[in-house]
Amino acid sequence: FGELFANVLIVGIGGSALGPQFVADALGAPTDRLKPFFFDNTDPDGMDRVLEAIEERGGLSRTLTIVISKSGGTKETRNGMLESQAAYKACGLDPARHFVAVTQEGSELDKVAVKEGWLPRFPLWAWVGGRTSELSAVGLLAAALQGIDIKGMLDGAAAMDVLTRNTDTMKNPALLLSLSWLKATNGKGEKDMVVLPYKDRLTLLSKYLQQLVMESLGKDKDLDGKAVKQGIAVYGNKGSTDQHAYVQQLRDGVDNFFITFLQVLKERKATNMEVEPGVTSGDYLFGFLLGTRRALYEGGRPSITVAVEDVTPRAVGALIALFERAVGFYASFVNINAYHQPGVEAGKKAAQAVISLQSKVVKGLAESAAGATADELAKAQIGRASCRE
Residue numbers annotated as active site: 215, 244, 348
DSSP string, 110-158: HHHHHHHT-S--EEE-TT--GGG-TTSHHHHHHHHHHT--HHHHHHHHH
Amino acid identity, position 313: P
Contact residues for 206 (Cβ-Cβ < 8 A; gap 6+): 195, 197, 234, 235, 236, 237, 238
Q: How many CB atoms lie within 10 A of CB 153?
A: 28
Amino acid identity, position 110: D
d(CA 82, CA 101): 13
DSSP state of 14: T
d(CA 327, CA 338): 7
d(CA 171, CA 187): 22
Nearest to 239 by CA among 193, 279, 194, 288: 288
Contact residues for 387 (Cβ-Cβ < 8 A; gap 6+): none
